[in-house]
Amino acid sequence: MGSYSHALPEPTTAAGREGLAAVLERPAGSVVALDFDGTLAEIVPDPEQARAHPATVPALARLAPQVRSVVVVTGRPAGVAVRYGGFAGVEGLEHLVVLGHYGAERWDAVSGNVQAQPEHPGVAAVRAELPGLLDSMGVWRGTWVEEKGRAVAVHTRRAEDPQSAFETLREPIADLAARHGLIVEPGRLVLEVRPPGVDKGIALAEYVREVNATAVVYAGDDLGDLAAFAAVEKLRSDGVPGLLLCSGGEVPELAERADLPLPGPAAVVAFLSALADRIEGRA
């Protein structure tokens, strides 16, 4: 897998080129931060079947020892991302960190443990009320509730008309969330009800500060990644160079703000592999 080199694509923006140059100049100070679904794993109709692209672990295992840190920043529970990613017990990934539930959970490969914020009592109340709400809206068929522990997510990808089911549910689910002190995190044909107070931007900015990074790469594909993009833009304005990658084009707001739009997880993973090659001095 690591025996041939890939071309490293050039960012389309000046800020992105500066970010990439800073990573190549000082990899040991750089953080590579990656979303999971849609970025490392192809989007599939059944969320329980999502798995990291097969070239992900080999690419990360070559890249991680050369940079300050590789961190996965995801809306998934941290343990689920570790499992679906195949990230545990991998040589080269001994220092991997996964920030799950938009930063409310943290798994690290050193301890193998998940640290988590206390659970919000509103989640249990929403869980109890959701079936009645979905019944009353007449959108049960093909709609699926993902049980996430400290959050619940309503998926419409498998509904007869996924976009219309998403739009129909958006406001009622927002009202339900608000009644219980929760927020709605909208994503790619998913409405997630979760506690407020964290997002990928807060999680990423704290992590970059914690490891004192000199440059950062962030790759995402969904609305929840906009906060992380904003965090990288803020870091750039504070003098920390950054590179923003967008995976796929389903979320135009994100693609428009990216320094390097990539067609999907296979291209993201090829980028990571090419980055490892360049740092190793092979391309």
Ligand X SMILES: O=P(O)(O)OC[C@H]1O[C@H](O[C@H]2O[C@H](CO)[C@@H](O)[C@H](O)[C@H]2O)[C@H](O)[C@@H](O)[C@@H]1O
Task: Name 99's Cβ contacts closer than 8 Å, sequence gap at least 6.
Answer: 71, 72, 73, 74, 78, 105, 106, 200, 203, 204, 207
Angle made by CA atoms 106, 111, 114, in degrees to the nearest 5 = 30
Nearer to ligand X, 65 or 79 (CB): 79
d(CA 129, CA 132): 6
Interface with ligand X, residue 190, by CB under 6 A: yes
194 is a contact residue toward ligand X (CB under 6 A) = no
| Adjacent-strand bridge partners of 97 | 71, 108
Q: Which strand (E) or helix (H) includes residue 265?
A: helix 265-280
Q: Does 143 contact ligand X by CB under 6 A? A: no
| Residue 278 exposure: Cα atoms within 13 Å on the Cβ side | 20
Q: Judged by CB under 6 A, which stretch of 32-40, 83-91, 163-171, 230-238 contacts ligand X? A: 32-40
Clarify whether 175 is annotated catalytic.
no
**Token pair in block for residue 199:** 């997002």
Q: Indicate the residue among 43 and 272 with the shorter CB distance to ligand X.
A: 43
155 near ligand X, judged by CB under 6 A: yes
Q: From 67, 74, 15, 69, select the one nearest 238 (Cα to Cα).
A: 15
**How do beta strands 30-34 and 144-147 pair?**
unpaired
Using the rule CB under 6 A, which residue among 35, 105, 199, 259 binds ligand X?
35
Binding ligand X (rule: CB under 6 A), the pick from 8, 20, 43, 216 is 43
Q: Out of 157, 207, 232, 242, point to the residue binding ligand X (CB under 6 A).
A: 157
Question: Going edge to edge, which strands form the sheet with 144-147?
Answer: 144-147, 152-155, 190-194, 183-187
Q: With contacts defined by CB under 6 A, how many residues of the chain interact with ligand X? A: 24
Asked if 199 interacts with ligand X (CB under 6 A), we say no
By CB under 6 A, name the one of 6, 106, 188, 236 that touches ligand X.
188
For the CB of residue 10, give the shortest distance to ligand X in the complex, in Å. 26
Least distance CB 30 / ligand X (angstroms): 21
Q: Which is nearer to ligand X, 24 or 226 (CB)?
A: 226
Q: Of 35, 199, 259, 277, which one is the catalytic site residue?
A: 35
Spatial contact of 56 and 85, defined as CB atoms under 8 Å apart: yes
Residue 38 binds to ligand X (criterion: CB under 6 A): yes
Q: Does 146 bind ligand X (CB under 6 A)?
A: yes
Q: By CB under 6 A, which span of 60-68, 183-191, 203-211, 245-253 interacts with ligand X?
A: 183-191
- Per CB under 6 A, which of residues 65..84 are in contact with ligand X? 74-76
The C-alpha atoms of residue 233 and residue 185 are separated, in whole angstroms, by 21
**224 touching ligand X, by CB under 6 A:** yes
- Quote the tokens at residue 255: 């693609």
Q: Measuring CA to CA, which residue among 74, 71, 61 is closest to residue 31? A: 71
Residues forming contacts to ligand X in the complex (CB under 6 A) are 35-38, 43-45, 47, 50, 74-76, 146, 148, 153, 155, 157, 187-190, 192, 222, 224
List, by residue number, the catalytic residues: 35
